[in-house]
Structure 1
Amino acid sequence: MRASFRRTTAETEVEVSLDLEGSGRSEVETGVPLLDEMLEILAQGSGFDLEVRARGDLPTGDHHTIEDVAIALGRAFAEVADAGIGSSFVPSGEALAFAAVRFGPLGYRDEVEFLAGSLEGMELGNYGHFMRTLAYNGEFALHLRATGGDDWEKVEALTLSVARALKRAVADGRRGRETSWNSDGVERIEE
């Protein structure tokens, strides 16, 4: 299942291509080194193929580029996934991260604290903004938690846990098409 999305604003131009039946291949160029690494981790960890090209007003900061990449990627997800639940715990060095995804109801919550203001060209306050924007535009609920470790270990563990949770949610959604559910979203077991 493939989707592409293009977003052009006064500040940015973003093109995203997403293939849920890929092999984890990525071609990413956003101008923000940490964002590039995050997107590569998302592709590798989920097994989805991902292409992202972004040109933005980086001299004014990374906010617009990060936000518009998240919007475009989220909209691509919304085109190809609409049901499913998945979660994942991932360690990285001294950090431990947890992510949970549910397509359908929108929501975002995180319990993440970074130590520094920025890392590899990205304001770390924009990490949560990226994830929230991705979730709302992707039409899913996303919950994140990270403890321990340094900022890079947290970013790596969080991003990989999101990738694995998305992979599991997509797989669950495909199974769910063959499963009946009651009105409360609880699986009906028929014998």
Structure 2
Amino acid sequence: MNRSRTAEITRKTNETDIYLKLNIDGSGESKITTGVGFLNHMLELFARHGGFDLEVIAKGDTNVDDHHTVEDIGICLGDAFKKALGDKKGIRRYGFFLLPMDETLIECAIDFSGRTYLNYAADIQAVRVGTFETELAEEFFKAFADRAAVNLHIIKRFGRNTHHIIEGIFKAVARSIKDAVVVESDRIMSTKGTLSE
């Protein structure tokens, strides 16, 4: 592979101030400071299991709640993958992983198609894990899918423990992305000749 698949993203609004740096072909190293403890943990394991180097420094209006910070980091992560992959020439495009974590089993499939869709079929009974609102996991992946322009399916096959379910989701998504971004040819994997629309 000749091209460095890296991206730096900055996003500053009245609600958040975010810097994100991604190296797709990294070694799983991370430096994460988001102001949301549970999200820090999820992004650290996302980087480790995907083999991505990831740096995120975020400040947000967490005095209101964590929604804007979590959603905007999802936006930045999606933007980073889209930028780092460029025209997606040579990538496998599709990725799939079935991840067991104790009593939990998470299924994930992703397509770097250039078209956005999220199927999030992971009902979680608990409202919070620690101080993190569990519905924000879906908001994070919705923002990511929209900005990365991917088709993303996340399905909870089994699971009771809230921490296990969300951690399993982040790990399964990371592993699916790792599979999808493997360079295996010198062609764009589409009969249309493009993966940008």
Instruction: Report if TM-score (shorter chain) is over 0.5.
Output: yes
**Structure 1 residues 182 and 126, CA, compared in 2 at 3 Å: closer, same or farther?**
same
**Structure 1 residues 49 and 184, CA, compared in 2 at 3 Å: closer, same or farther?**
closer
Work out whether 1:164 is the aligned partner of 2:164.
no
Q: Secondary structure at the match of 1:24?
A: coil
Structure 2 gaps of 5+ residues are none
Identity of aligned residues (%): 32
Q: CA RMSD in A?
A: 1.7
- Candidates 135, 139, 142, aligned match of 2:149: 139
- Equivalent pairs counted in the alignment come to 183
Cα offset, 1:139, TM superposition:
1.3
Which 10-residue stretch deviates more, 56-65 or 109-118?
109-118
**For residue 90 of structure 1, what is the aligned residue in structure 2?**
99
**Structure 1 residues 16 and 180, CA, compared in 2 at 3 Å: closer, same or farther?**
closer
Work out whether 1:112 is the aligned partner of 2:116.
no
Determine if contact 1:32/1:120 at 8 Å carries over to the other structure. no
1:101 & 1:180 partners in 2: Cα distance?
Answer: 14
Work out whether 1:68 is the aligned partner of 2:72.
yes
Cα offset, 1:121, TM superposition:
2.6
Determine if contact 1:7/1:72 at 8 Å carries over to the other structure. yes
Between Structure 1 and Structure 2, the one with more helix by share is: 1
- Candidates 100, 106, 120, aligned match of 2:109: 100
**For residue 131 of structure 2, what is the aligned residue in structure 1?**
121
1:18 & 1:179 partners in 2: Cα distance?
Answer: 22
Work out whether 1:35 is the aligned partner of 2:56.
no
Q: Secondary structure at the match of 1:60?
A: coil
Cα offset, 1:102, TM superposition:
0.5
TM-score (norm 1): 0.91
Opposite residue 102 of structure 1, the aligned amino acid is: D
Cα offset, 1:21, TM superposition:
1.2
Q: Secondary structure at the match of 1:38?
A: helix
**Structure 1 residues 46 and 31, CA, compared in 2 at 3 Å: closer, same or farther?**
same
Opposite residue 122 of structure 2, the aligned amino acid is: V
Cα offset, 1:149, TM superposition:
2.8
Opposite residue 141 of structure 1, the aligned amino acid is: N
Determine if contact 1:107/1:142 at 8 Å carries over to the other structure. yes
**For residue 188 of structure 1, what is the aligned residue in structure 2?**
none
Which 10-residue stretch deviates more, 74-83 or 127-136?
74-83
Q: Secondary structure at the match of 1:58?
A: coil
Structure 1 gaps of 5+ residues are 186-191
2:9 & 2:172 partners in 1: Cα distance?
Answer: 24
